[in-house]
Amino acid sequence: MSAIAIKPSLLRAAKTSAPRFSRAAWLAAGLVGTAGTATYLYSNSNNSNSNNSNNAGKKLSTLMAGVLGANVATVPQGKTLKDYQEVYNDIAAKIEENLDYDGGAGFYGQLVRLAWHSSGTYDKNTKTGGSYYGTMIFYPEASDGANNGLANGRDFLYEFAVKYPWISRGDLWTLGGVVAVQESGGPKIPWRPGRVDSYEKKDIPENGNLPDASQDGKYVRNYFKRLGFGDREIVALLGAHCLGKCHPENSGYDGPWGPSFNMFTNDFFVRLLGSWHVRQWDGEKQYEDDETNSFMMLPTDIALKEESYFLKYVKLYAADQDLFFADFSKAFATLLELGIEYPRGTKPFLFKTVEEQE
């Protein structure tokens, strides 16, 4: 898959014409963000009580949650792999129609970041956050600076929330990440449905749960400990920075990590092992490559080279893409399910790529 020439009409097509809910409606729900961010309210019929069987499922889920003390996955009645593969295929087709988005990055990076940020609020100590409730559209989470720019991904997916009213926000956003990894050439990501939308303030995590890119390796290690990840998984997860770009308007950082930013590869690790210097510019402190001065690394990326407990895995993954794929697949699947309890024996779905279905 490679970057293609820009087709402005396709760029326009990326913007959904979905209706916006009025600010009054948001206020009535007590959920409006002070920043006034233009986000769509994903209101699925499974939450507006139009589906009795699903209500029964929700009641069961609540009951089980009471027993297990966790967010129990509840799959909408009768939905199988076939239904979710259909959503997968629609997302993949829309990605394919928008390959020129963001200077040829397409929506791969955007959708992987959306899936990760909806999950990365998890705190294993308080058992809060994570992707289960799909809360990122609500204040304060929607206004967290770390989520700047992710309205693009949520808006991109919104039409599928309308077309498939039974799918929850958390399922849609995490499924989007799975599609993006697989369709950009990455590994299969085992994925399980059953996240349930919440509209309750108590389910919305506070801001500050997503990582700060200006920090060092000790911070990164400590940050991911809160999510339950060890050094090897941390390094594997950060390999996702092969996709997409940093945007000054979102984060203060600028540029892609490498030239193949629409392909899932181990290139992040190969490049990281090259030579980097601090970029001279008036933005946030970031690094650029000695060879071309065209690519970037965040301080937290460079930290993977600075600490021996991370560096050994960087070297492993740079030398062996299959190993990286296998480890990333496991760690990313775990990340997307943080805080969710699955009834015993719930098998994950493995989606076919578009190519495999041809």
Work out the burial of residue 43: count CB atoms within 10 Å of its CB; fewer than 13 is exposed, 13-18 middle, 19 or more buried.
middle
Distance, in Å, from the CA atom of 244 to the CA atom of 263, rounded to the nearest integer, reads 9
Q: Which of 136, 246, 272, 314 binds ligand HEM (CB under 6 A)?
A: 246
117 tagged catalytic: yes
Site membership for ligand HEM, residue 236 (CB under 6 A) = no
Residue numbers 52-71 binding ligand HEM by CB under 6 A: none
Site for ligand HEM in 265-304 (CB under 6 A): 298, 300
Rg (CA), the chain: 20
CA distances from 351 to 92, 130, 191, 327 (A): 11, 22, 8, 18
Establish if 112 lies at the interface with ligand HEM (CB under 6 A). yes
Give SS3 for 327.
helix
Please select the residue that binds ligand HEM; options are 39, 71, 110, 209, rule is CB under 6 A.
110
Minimal distance, residue 144 CB to ligand HEM, in Å: 13
Q: How far apart are CA 54 and CA 204, in angstroms?
A: 23
Where does this chain touch ligand HEM (CB under 6 A) — which range of 22-30, 45-53, 109-117, 273-281? Answer: 109-117
Rounded to whole angstroms, the Cα distance separating 32 from 330 reads 36
Which of 151, 235, 243, 336 is in the footprint of ligand HEM by CB under 6 A? 243
Is there a catalytic annotation at residue 276? no
CB of 42 to ligand HEM, least distance (A): 20
Instruction: Give the DSSP letter string of 169-195.
Output: HHHHHHHHHHHHHHHTT-----B----
Is 105 among the residues that bind ligand HEM (CB under 6 A)? yes
DSSP H helices in 16-107: 23-28, 52-68, 81-97, 101-104
* Residue in 75, 136, 189, 220 binding ligand HEM, rule: CB under 6 A: 220
- When binding is defined by CB under 6 A, the residue of 84, 295, 332, 349 that contacts ligand HEM is 332
Pick 44 or 286: Cβ nearer ligand HEM:
286
Q: How far apart are CA 102 and CA 71, in angstroms?
A: 36
Q: Is 151 among the residues that bind ligand HEM (CB under 6 A)? A: no
CB of 298 to ligand HEM, least distance (A): 6
The smaller minimum CB distance to ligand HEM, of residues 76 and 256, is found at 256
Q: Which of 117, 191, 241, 276 is catalytic?
A: 117
Length of the chain counted residue by residue: 358
For residues 202 and 216, what is the distance between their CA atoms, to the nearest angstrom?
32
Quote the tokens at residue 74.
């509840």
Q: Please give the residue whose beta carbon sits closest to ligand HEM in the complex.
A: 244
Chain centre to alpha carbon of residue 69? 25
250 binds ligand HEM (CB under 6 A): yes
Number of residues that bind ligand HEM (CB under 6 A): 25
SS (H, E, C) 97-132: HCCCHHHHCCCHHHHHHHHHHHHCCCECCCCECCCC
Under the rule (CB under 6 A), what is the footprint of ligand HEM?
A: 105, 109-110, 112-113, 116, 149, 211, 213, 220, 237-238, 240-241, 243-247, 250-251, 253, 298, 300, 332
